[in-house]
Amino acid sequence: MRYLPLTEADRKAMLKRIGAKDIDALFVDVPPEARLDSSDRPVDLPRRRSELEVERTLTRMAGRNVSAGAVPFFVGAGAYKHHVPATVDHLIQRSEFLTAYTPYQPEVSQGTLQYLFEFQTQVALLTGMEVANASMYDGSTGCGEAVLMAERVTKRRKAVLSGGLHPQYRAVVENLSHFGGSTVHALPPAINGEEDIVSAIDSETACVVVQTPNVYGSLTDLEPIARAAHENGALLIAVVTEVVSLGAVRSPGEMGADIVVAEGQSLGVGLSFGGPYVGLFATREKFLRQMPGRLAGETVDGEGKRGYVLTLSTREQHIRRERATSNICTNSGLCCLAFTIHLSLLGEKGFRDLARLNHHNACLLADRLSGVKGVEVLTPAFFNEFTIRTPKPGAEVVEALAEKGILGGVPVSRLEPTADAFGDLIVVASTEVNTDEDRDAYQTALKEVLA
């Protein structure tokens, strides 16, 4: 087997050194009635295969999927198709990054620790916050952790969720809250961003969770919500699933958010059918010790030379065990690196231009689609994503578009299957990857589908 260096002679010599008669002697503690036989197929699975054969099988499987880059592509709702510079993928495959463990021995992990420190700084700058951690699994689990953190800070047990929060993020929060014994008050879906969330905040509210742009694309001014939350002693958690929007719209920190969680997939990471992604998590310095997740911090060695270590681990499970702030053990290291490299390549200018181009393309697309008979754009203020109403059920339209080779968006019925009133809605995203030809193709296909 090509991955196993021991030869049969090695194995024999080693068993001899150990003083074991055969390999079975090393497994004596396995109860006899639970031992598998020593045939070629101890379990009913195929035998080993060559690299060529495995590659062939997987390539065939991959070939049964329609990849985003192969078609006019407008799918978003929490994950976005962006161009990732070739440099990013080359660098994250450097052995020293790819095949390193968590940087527990800092003297031989300065590469990882320094990029995590750079990542934390970039995330704090983007979100307009004071501190950020070294990432969460993804945006949705980060959102769940933010609610738990707000409950620790306020010592209250109720979360108010905006109807614009991604329904799968809502489900994550509801699930955690159910098992953790706290309460969730989720507002009904708010397609055009209009909802009265302020009157849902009371003196028992730990946090208000508001996504902007929301899952239907609508931008929200967080300032009045932040004010109302703070008047009631609650925290405002801002959720951003399209991090590129932060290049064009005011940061949640500027608008008064106390915790910002974001999905960082748009920068560096790629679509990958939903994972792995990278959760961004930022907050005010005063809440630092209630923040979950790993942190890289700056310090010095004996000669006063600057270096980085994992720090404040007294919050974490491997020290505090059942008293930890969270059970989280890993972060999303390599995706942080991809994020940080992509953002370093963009820089201020590139990032803001990228955001402008995304918004521009979405505006052009909205104009095109609203020109199709019977189609209405419902989102008054958007960044790179909006919701349309069509005269036919959204799921049917999206499926018919796919048959014509256009991936045209996400039917709201997939996100909110019980909301019958929204069966004719589609969430449509457009990024820098879309061209005039893509928009032409979409408009034409949509006309045909609706004819």
Partner 1 sequence: MMNREGRATAPTAQGSEGAVATFTGNRGLDIEEPLIFEVGSGEVTGVDIDLPEAPENRLGALARKQGIGLPGLSEPEAMRHYVRLSRKNYAIDLGIYPLGSCTMKHNPRLNEKAVRLAGFGDIHPLQPESTVQGALELIDTLAHWLKTLTGLPAVAMSPKAGAHGELCGMMAIRAALEARGEPRSIVLVPESAHGTNPATAAYLGYKVVSVPAREDGTVDPEAVKERLSEDVAAIMLTNPNTCGLFEPDVRAIAEAVHEVGAYFYCDGANFNAIMGRTRPGDLGVDAMHINLHKTFSTPHGGGGPGAGPVVLSEALAPFAPLPFVVHGADGFRLVESLDDDAAGEAFGRMTAFHGQMGMFVRALAYMMSHGADGLRQAAEDAVLNANYVRACLKDTFSLPYNHDRPCMHEVLFDDSFLKGTGVSTLDFAKAMIDEGFHPMTVYFPLVVHGAMLIEPTESESKASLDQFVATLRRLADAAREGDTERFTGAPRYTPVGRLDETRAARHPILRWTPEQNASQAAE
Interaction with partner 1 in 361-400: which residues (CB under 8 A)?
363-364, 381-383, 398-399
**Position 420 contacts partner 1 (CB under 8 A):** no
Is residue 203 at the binding interface for partner 1, with CB under 8 A as the rule? no
Residue 219 interacting with partner 1 (CB under 8 A): yes
Q: Which of 159, 161, 234, 296 binds partner 1 (CB under 8 A)?
A: 296
**Listed residue (431, 241, 248) closest to 352, CA to CA:** 248
Closest to partner 1 by CB, 255 vs 375, is 255
8 makes contact with partner 1 (CB under 8 A): no
Site for partner 1 in 53-82 (CB under 8 A): 54-55, 57-70, 73, 75, 77-79, 81
Binding flag, residue 446, partner 1 (CB under 8 A): no
| Residue 234 beta carbon to partner 1: minimum distance, rounded to whole angstroms | 22
Give the other-Cβ count within 10 Å of 39's Cβ: 7
Of residues 279, 265, 252, 291, the one with CA closest to residue 131 = 291
Lookup result for tokens 């009371």: 202
Phi/psi of residue 205, each to 5°? -80, 125
The whole-angstrom separation of Cα 333 and Cα 89 is 14
Q: Which of 235, 410, 412, 449 binds partner 1 (CB under 8 A)?
A: 410
Which 232-291 positions form the footprint of partner 1 (CB under 8 A)?
Answer: 246-251, 254, 270-278, 288
Q: Amino acid identity of 418? A: T
* Min CB(391)–partner 1 separation in Å: 20
Q: Which of residues 170-189 bind partner 1 (CB under 8 A)?
A: 171-172, 174-175, 178-181
Q: If you compute the radius of gyration of the chain from its CA atoms, what whole number of angstroms results?
A: 25
In angstroms, give the least distance from the CB of 372 to partner 1. 19
Residues 21, 35, 286, 392: which binds partner 1 (CB under 8 A)? Answer: 35
Say whether 259 sits in a helix, a strand or coil: strand
What lies within 8 Å, CB to CB, of 227 at 6+ separation is 256
Of the candidates 428, 438, 439, 418, the residue with the CA atom closest to the CA atom of residue 213 = 428
Strands 235-240 and 205-211: parallel
112-151 binders of partner 1 (CB under 8 A): 112, 114-115, 117-118, 120-122, 124-126, 131-132, 134-135, 137-141
252: preceding bond cis by omega (within 30 degrees): no
**Is 419 one of the binding residues for partner 1 (CB under 8 A)?**
no
